[in-house]
Amino acid sequence: MARYLLTRAWQSALTLLLSTIVVFVGVRALPGDPALALAGEDRSPEALEAIRRHYGLDQPLPVQFAQYVERMAQGDFGVSIRTGTPVSSMLTTALPVTVELSILAILLATVLGVGAGVLAAVRRGRPAEWLANGLALIGLSVPHFWLGLLAILYLSVATGLFPASGFVPFLDDPVDNLHHLVLPAVILGTGLAAIIMRQTRSAMLDSLSSDYVRTAKAKGLRPRAVITRHALRNSLIVVVTVVGLQLGGLISGAVVTEQIFGLPGFGKMTIDAVFQRDYPVIQAVVLLTAAAYIVINFLVDLLYSVIDPRIRVTGEPA
């Protein structure tokens, strides 16, 4: 297992380096003078000269890249062109919102997706399976931002049951915080739930027809015990896999969901930055997303080897 983890760690580090190069090159490809982009409000020649020296823009490219990596590693993402505040402090207020929203969405999707998937597999060929399959297909096909729009129009505005927009920090008022996040989390979670449901159903069907489940049944275990103790354990791997693979989709979804529900998170910050041509913010967002994706997927692989002992032996995901 140590060998497998070392390989994965090395691969993750390499991918991280490559994605940093991509962002570095992308920033150089931005229209206009990067010093101008970094300068913010103060665009006097002296200020630009100071920025060129501070960011090493007068140095050769490899030196610039080394300095760039050093700055990023220290969390120095520059200053927002629009607000003049350091990008890092914008991130510290925005990220918790997105992380909380995503965790709630993953929890919801897991409960819904695993539940419906198990039901569909156990009730094969019955109406319950058709219903679960149909809902999963719709969940895959519906534009979630549209679902959010309808939820605001017909649930929040019409009934007043949920707030249509806004955010309250968890530490200020946990109940109000959840009240604001329930609807966005449901909207964000539906797509993920559909994918988890389909994978769970397929994995359950495989394990229900496998030898070890047949043995368990033959030795007289009650059907419920067979499902929960033997077959369902596998669906844990399914959930971990799907969440790892769908992380990109989840981040994209969070951006849109925040935009619709007016949540002051990472996504809203991103979209605002694009329209204000706030390049330091865009750069930080792109780089951090890539880094988060790589690190989380490495953690998912670690988790795998904990859940599934086969990986510890063979060094390959089953």
Binding site for another protein (CB under 8 A): 11, 14-15, 18-19, 22-23, 26, 29-31, 137-138, 140-143, 145-147, 149-150, 152-154, 157, 202, 205, 247-249, 251-252, 255-256, 259-260, 270-271, 274-275, 277, 279, 282, 285-286, 289-291, 293-294, 297
Smallest distance from another protein to CB 175, Å = 27
Which DSSP string corresponds to 12-28?
Answer: HHHHHHHHHHHHHHHHH
Q: What count of other Cβ atoms lies within 10 Å of the Cβ of residue 30? A: 14
Three-class secondary structure of residue 32 per DSSP? coil
> At CA 247, angle to CA 244 and CA 249, rounded to 5?
135
Smallest distance from another protein to CB 170, Å = 25
Which DSSP string corresponds to 110-175?
Answer: HHHHHHHHHHHHHTTTSHHHHHHHHHHHHHHHS-HHHHHHHHIIIIIIHH-SS-SS----TTT-HH
Smallest distance from another protein to CB 286, Å = 5
16 or 47: whose CB is closer to another protein? 16
Q: What count of other Cβ atoms lies within 10 Å of the Cβ of residue 136? A: 25
Q: Is residue 95 within 8 Å of residue 270, measured between CB atoms?
A: no
Q: Distance between CA atoms of 65 and 72, rounded to whole angstroms?
A: 10
237 or 273: whose CB is closer to another protein? 273
* Per-residue b or e along 6-18, where b marks 16 or more CB atoms closer than 10 Å to that residue's CB: eebeeebeebbee
Beta bridge partners of 218: none
Q: Distance between CA atoms of 200 and 239, rounded to whole angstroms?
A: 8
Classify residue 167 as left (phi > 0), alpha (psi -120 to 50) or beta: beta
Smallest distance from another protein to CB 29, Å = 5
Smallest distance from another protein to CB 100, Å = 19
* C-alpha distances in Å from residue 123, one per residue of 129, 151, 206: 6, 31, 14
Smallest distance from another protein to CB 226, Å = 19
Smallest distance from another protein to CB 181, Å = 20
Smallest distance from another protein to CB 42, Å = 22
Smallest distance from another protein to CB 279, Å = 7
Beta bridge partners of 79: 86
Q: Distance between CA atoms of 204 and 186, rounded to whole angstroms?
A: 25
